[in-house]
Amino acid sequence: MSDSYDVVVIGSGPAGYVAAIRAAQLGLKVACVEKWLDSAGKSRLGGTCLNVGCIPSKALLHSSHKFHEAASELGVHGIEVASASLNVPAMLARKDKIVDQLTGGITGLFKANGVTPVIGSGKVLAGHKVELTTAEGDVSVIEAANIIIATGSVPVEIPPAPIDNNLIVDSTGALEFQSVPARLGVIGAGVIGLELGSVWNRCGAEVVVLEALDEFLPMMDVQIARESKKILSGQGLDIRMGARVTGAVAGGDAVTVTYTDGDGEHEEVFDKLIVAVGRRPQTENLLAGDSGVTMDERGFIFVNDFCETEAPCIYAVGDIVRGPMLAHKGSEEGVMVAERIAGKHAEMNYETIPSVIYTHPEIAAVGKTEQELKAEGIEYKSGVFPFAASGRALAINDSQGMVKMLADAESDRILGCHVVGPNAADLVQQVVIAMEFGASSEDIGLTVFAHPTLSEAVHEAALAVDGHAIHIPNRRPRK
């Protein structure tokens, strides 16, 4: 192994491995440093996303959805299932197999593209150097013309609920329950809390979600958030807003949780407790004092729009920098940085990053919410189409929710699209593409959509912006 590279990437999550591959594709000599070791001490590429994030959570969401369908939803189709039972170890084994396949796939991609994986912990030193420390404590130095920091994030811990990895777990532990807890507490009604709460709720757990804020999903469009809460509560998730957890004591085989809300102090006993109160940047032992790289007060590495840090030739991408903590956001930053290092013109459009909550139905969004447009004083028009009026949604027995499209009042340019409903992620993605091309709601209205598809709801919401929807009465019919 040579110890001098054009680019050294620290971290092999979706931000880091994508940056490394793209840089290698562009002819640069690239190494990617990764410290992640599994319980058997084997190196793992892929970061949070592949090992304990996006992929394993989606595997369990899908399995638990299948179980829930078999146990209680197929009757409507005339299919009688005598009794559906769940084999939790088999469900977890399926998830682990997918994780193994994908993390191994990154090793294959590195090989195919000529990226050198380097096992160990990386530290940025001054003067184009990365210090490498192996698990055994051996220290060496790699020379790097350019350094890309992609060290990601870790779960936030809160003093009232210390993780014991047995009864009180973070998102990683919640992917590993060996049996379905009868009563499950979740602290935090954010993306991760709702997804993991949904998994175990569908498997039969009684789930209580405690959320300190009064407003549900404040980053989502307020109308979509309200509808989502109604749907998820209808599925049995007991979501308690304004509930701030003040203590969690594990004893024997139960956790006693105390929380306060507008009515005073309360106590609940759970078999397991998931702490899902957010994630923080991973910067431990990452930067030498004279590296020249700076962080903000919350530990995010300070970068400009091009992910350049304050130090020349040192970049940072993904969860470690400002912006939404989403795998695809980090990947696109990784591509941008790799291309800029290779001398290409590249920039990133932060206005069109989609975000998705993979509950059932999914909740997805791109662009501005209605409350943001109001706050910014932007004149807008909106069109809403409920899935209850979609032939395809009824045919697949999945007709809760709606598509909401927001467009500029004057230019008609699409400003945002918000969906709670079946395949919301894929529906919003269509609008992401349209927005990238600067489309108007009329452009989508003039596009031919296959029938019967869920996508027709996007078409109808676009038509509804100007009062032309066909399959619902229009609020403001126009000629």
Structure tokens of 441? 């709601």
CB of 186 to ligand AMP, least distance (A): 9
| 154 part of the interface to ligand AMP, by CB under 6 A | no
> Which residue's CB is nearer to ligand FAD, number 189 or number 373?
189
The residue with its CB nearest to ligand AMP is 190
Pairing type for strands 402-408 and 380-386 reads: antiparallel
Q: What angle do CA 116, 117, 123 make, to 5 degrees?
A: 110
CB of 401 to ligand AMP, least distance (A): 20
> Which residue's CB is nearer to ligand AMP, number 241 or number 288?
241
| Contacted entry of ligand AMP, ligand FAD, none for residue 361, CB cut-off 5 to 8 Å set by kind | none
| Contacted entry of ligand FAD, ligand AMP, none for residue 33, CB cut-off 5 to 8 Å set by kind | ligand FAD
Whether omega before 361 lies within 30 degrees of 0, making that bond cis, reads: yes
The number of beta carbons lying within 10 Å of the beta carbon of residue 340 is 17
CB of 375 to ligand FAD, least distance (A): 26
Pattern 408-427, binding to ligand AMP, x per CB under 6 A? --------------------
Query: Cβ(302)–Cβ(213) under 8 Å?
Result: no
Q: Which 222-281 residues touch ligand AMP, going by CB under 6 A?
A: 244-245, 276-278
Selection from 266, 241, 252, 109 nearest residue 187 by Cα: 241
Interatomic CA distance for residues 469 and 445, integer angstroms: 9
Interatomic CA distance for residues 102 and 108, integer angstroms: 10
Kindly indicate which of the ranges 142-150, 206-214, 224-232, 430-438 contains the residues binding ligand AMP, using the contact rule CB under 6 A: 206-214
Structure tokens of 454? 């869920």
| Contacted entry of ligand AMP, ligand FAD, none for residue 393, CB cut-off 5 to 8 Å set by kind | none
Interatomic CA distance for residues 249 and 258, integer angstroms: 9
- Return the amino acid letter for 268: E
Among 8, 9, 24, 187, binds ligand AMP (CB under 6 A): 187
Kindly indicate which of the ranges 175-183, 188-196, 261-269, 368-376 contains the residues binding ligand AMP, using the contact rule CB under 6 A: 188-196
Size of the site for ligand AMP (CB under 6 A): 17
DSSP output for 53-64: SHHHHHHHHHHH
State the alpha helices, DSSP H only, in 73-174.
88-113
Interatomic CA distance for residues 460 and 474, integer angstroms: 10
Angle between helices 424-436 and 456-465 (to 10 degrees): 50
Q: Which 156-175 residues touch ligand AMP, going by CB under 6 A?
A: 158, 160
DSSP output for 281-326: E--TT-B-TTS---B-TTSPBP--TT-B-SSTTEEE-GGGSSS---
At residue 287, the 3 state secondary structure works out as strand
Q: What is the DSSP letter of 146?
A: E
CB of 379 to ligand AMP, least distance (A): 30
> Which residue among the candidates 128, 360, 418, 451 is catalytic per the annotation?
451
Interatomic CA distance for residues 474 and 19, integer angstroms: 47
| Contacted entry of ligand FAD, ligand AMP, none for residue 121, CB cut-off 5 to 8 Å set by kind | ligand FAD
| 213 part of the interface to ligand AMP, by CB under 6 A | yes
Torsional sign, CA 257, 262, 263, 264: positive
| Contacted entry of ligand FAD, ligand AMP, none for residue 53, CB cut-off 5 to 8 Å set by kind | ligand FAD
The number of beta carbons lying within 10 Å of the beta carbon of residue 352 is 16
CB of 120 to ligand FAD, least distance (A): 7
Structure tokens of 390? 């979609």
Kindly indicate which of the ranges 76-84, 181-189, 233-241, 331-339 contains the residues binding ligand AMP, using the contact rule CB under 6 A: 181-189
Q: What does the binding site for ligand FAD look like in residue numbers (CB under 6 A)?
A: 10-16, 33-36, 47-49, 52-54, 57, 121-122, 150-153, 171, 192, 282, 286, 318-320, 325-328, 330, 358
Query: Cβ(109)–Cβ(203) under 8 Å?
Result: no
Among 71, 74, 145, 212, binds ligand AMP (CB under 6 A): 212
| Contacted entry of ligand AMP, ligand FAD, none for residue 282, CB cut-off 5 to 8 Å set by kind | ligand FAD
The number of beta carbons lying within 10 Å of the beta carbon of residue 90 is 10
Selection from 421, 464, 12 nearest residue 224 by Cα: 421
CB of 127 to ligand AMP, least distance (A): 37
> Which residue's CB is nearer to ligand FAD, number 333 or number 456?
333
Q: Decide if 451 is catalytic.
A: yes
CB of 210 to ligand AMP, least distance (A): 5
CB of 196 to ligand AMP, least distance (A): 11
CB of 75 to ligand FAD, least distance (A): 30
The number of beta carbons lying within 10 Å of the beta carbon of residue 249 is 14
Structure tokens of 170? 């973070």
> Which residue's CB is nearer to ligand FAD, number 13 or number 422?
13
Residues lying near ligand AMP in the complex (CB under 6 A):
158, 160, 187-192, 210-213, 244-245, 276-278
What is the set of active-site residues?
A: 451
